[in-house]
Amino acid sequence: MATITSLFYLLSAVLFILGLKNLGSPKTARRGNALAMLAMLLAVIITLLDQRILDFTHIILGLVVGSAIGVYAAKKVQMTAMPQMVAIFNGFGGGASTLVATSEYFQLSGATEVNILATIALSILIGTVTFTGSFIAFAKLQGIMKGAPITFPGQRAFNGLIIVACIVLGVMFTRDPGNMTPLMVILGLAALLGVTSVIPIGGADMPVVISLLNSYSGLAAAATGFVISNNVLIIGGALVGASGLILTKIMCVAMNRSLGNVLFAAVGSDGGAASGGSGEQKQVTRYTADDAVMMLDNAQSVIIVPGYGLAVAQAQHVLQEMAQLLEANGLNVKYAIHPVAGRMPGHMNVLLAEANVSYEQLYEMDAINDDFQNTDIALIIGANDVVNPVARNKKDSALYGMPILNVDQARTVMIVKRSLSVGFAGEDNPLFYDDKTRMLFGDAKKMVTEIVQILKS
């Protein structure tokens, strides 16, 4: 029986791997997700057949309550709120790992091997850091907490001390497992560490944090797998751990920052608050919606560069309406998506897909950067730092070295923006004052709606 059970768990692990593989292409992604679902269902069913399970009442209660909340959340969540949802779900995963490890501790009987005890402590540590860290990330993304970094003197040393203390307590616990105090102190310290390690990270760096917490939630699941000696948890957790780490790295590269810099440097403000103006008066060319339409009428190609401001203004649907009208007029319309557009990896693609934009029109930075020079109009909506040319040449700037979209190579640059305020990086954007730039001041949704109305008439 044990052999058959193990083989079914292996089948489940294989299906997880195939599922992730299929998630890698837009054509097969839905199937990939379905395969992963099947893998999970299989793992749950095999587990329910386990003879160690004596009582099903609590299990059924848990599954029903959990499913109801999960279904509700999945149906109700706005696509703009996906980062918050993923953040809090990461937290739930971590919390579950902590609870399972704690529950296993209370079910230990007789002498237990040191390696089991060590994995219990590790599982509680990672799970709890993931749990509280994710809640802080959620609170920042949801606007419950301010996005600005919160720092205190000696923060890094403090976090380092917590980790050292956890290791010492972990060793104490394995020496004398009957005494649960060290384990509970680890739990408390881990909860604190989750908070103190996420609060210094600014709102604009949230894509990195969510990716990292995603990785932690996988590692927490894997640690639980060690506790209960179950390979499907180890494999599933390892896959997620790896996936989260890769996304973390991609986000760091897209901002030209090291992970250490993101985690510890406390970069960023709430965005737009501080004026980075150097005091000198610079001229901008103002355009109205009418002027913009006239220019679009005479153009043959336009590349739209959407930023998070677009999503905040909920302008993606009307933008797609505009794009369709322009295409009907014979324009070639493409979208250029910077890797950190939006608030989590790939977020902008989802927001535009929701607005019915074909994914074949969505181009990633490297695929489109050479096209700007042959394009009549680069239309920037709600984006700032990702098109700021100082990233190329101003060495003392926080943006320096970040790969940007080459919008300034287009023949004309149109920017829809509420004001000349700075972006998350707090850096003034010389593109606003460029000769070929036309500024359309106003709310993204209002401005695009106006353009659509003029185009229609």
If the CB atoms of residues 404 and 431 are measured against other proteins, the closer one turns out to be: 404
Give the nearest distance from C-beta 241 to other proteins in angstroms. Answer: 6
In the bound state with other proteins, the residue whose beta carbon lies nearer, of 79 and 165, is 79
Cα(44)–Cα(49) distance, integer angstroms: 9
183 lies in the binding site for other proteins (CB under 8 A): no
Residue of 145, 130, 159, 259 whose CA lies nearest to 203:
145
The token pair that represents 149 in the structure block: 């970094």
Of the pair 73, 274, the CB lying nearest other proteins is at 73
Instruction: Return the residues of window 314-353 that contact other proteins according to CB under 8 A.
Output: 324, 337, 339, 344-347, 349-350, 353
Q: Which of residues 360-419 bind other proteins (CB under 8 A)?
A: 360, 362, 364
Q: How far is the CB of 213 from other proteins (least distance, A)?
A: 10
From 43-51, 197-205, 309-317, 446-454, span contacting other proteins (CB under 8 A): 43-51
Q: What are the structure tokens assigned to 97, written together? A: 């790992």
- Say how many C-beta atoms besides its own lie within 10 A of residue 63's C-beta: 13
Does the footprint of other proteins cover residue 430 (CB under 8 A)?
no
| Minimum distance, C-beta of residue 27 to other proteins, in the bound complex (Å) | 8
Active-site annotation, residues: 385
SS3 of 304, please?
strand
Please report how many Cα atoms fall inside a 13 Å half-sphere around the Cα of residue 280, on the Cβ side: 5
Q: How far is the CB of 56 from other proteins (least distance, A)?
A: 7
SS3 assignment, position 447 = helix
| 308 binds other proteins, rule: CB under 8 A | no
- Residue number with CB closer to other proteins (226 or 287): 226
4 binding other proteins? (CB under 8 A)? no
**What is the contact mask toward other proteins in residues 66 to 105, using x (rule: CB under 8 A)?**
xx-xxx-xxx-x-x--x--xx--xx-xx-xxx-xx-xxx-
φ and ψ of 403, to 5 deg: -65, 130
Alpha-carbon distance of 339 to 80, in angstroms, equals 16
Q: How many CA atoms does the CB half-sphere of 31 hold within 13 Å?
A: 8
Q: Which is nearer to other proteins, 150 or 228 (CB)?
A: 228
d(CA 185, CA 171): 13
Residue 394 CB, nearest distance to other proteins (Å)? 26
CA within 13 Å, CB half, 371? 18
List the x/- string, 198-217, binding to other proteins by CB under 8 A: ------------xx--x--x
What is the distance between the alpha carbons of residues 146 and 330, in angstroms, rounded to a whole number? Answer: 45
Using only C-alpha atoms, what is the Rg of the chain?
A: 25
Q: Does residue 232 belong to the site contacting other proteins (CB under 8 A)?
A: yes
Give yes or no for residue 186 binding other proteins (CB under 8 A): no
Sole binder of other proteins in the list 172, 242, 259, 265 (CB under 8 A): 242
Tell me which of 230, 261, 409, 412 binds other proteins, using CB under 8 A. Answer: 230
Residues 6+ apart with CB under 8 A from 126: 94, 97, 190, 216, 219, 220, 223
Q: For residue 6, state whether it binds other proteins (rule: CB under 8 A).
A: no
Is 231 an interacting residue with respect to other proteins (CB under 8 A)? yes
The reply to whether 59 sits near other proteins by the rule CB under 8 A is: yes
**By C-beta, is 17 or 145 nearer to other proteins?**
17
Contact 306, 436 (CB under 8 A): no
Instruction: For residue 449, list its beta bridge partners.
Output: none
227 binds other proteins (CB under 8 A): yes
Q: Under a CB-based contact definition with an 8 Å cutoff, are residues 234 and 278 in contact?
A: no
- Total of residues contacting other proteins (CB under 8 A): 116
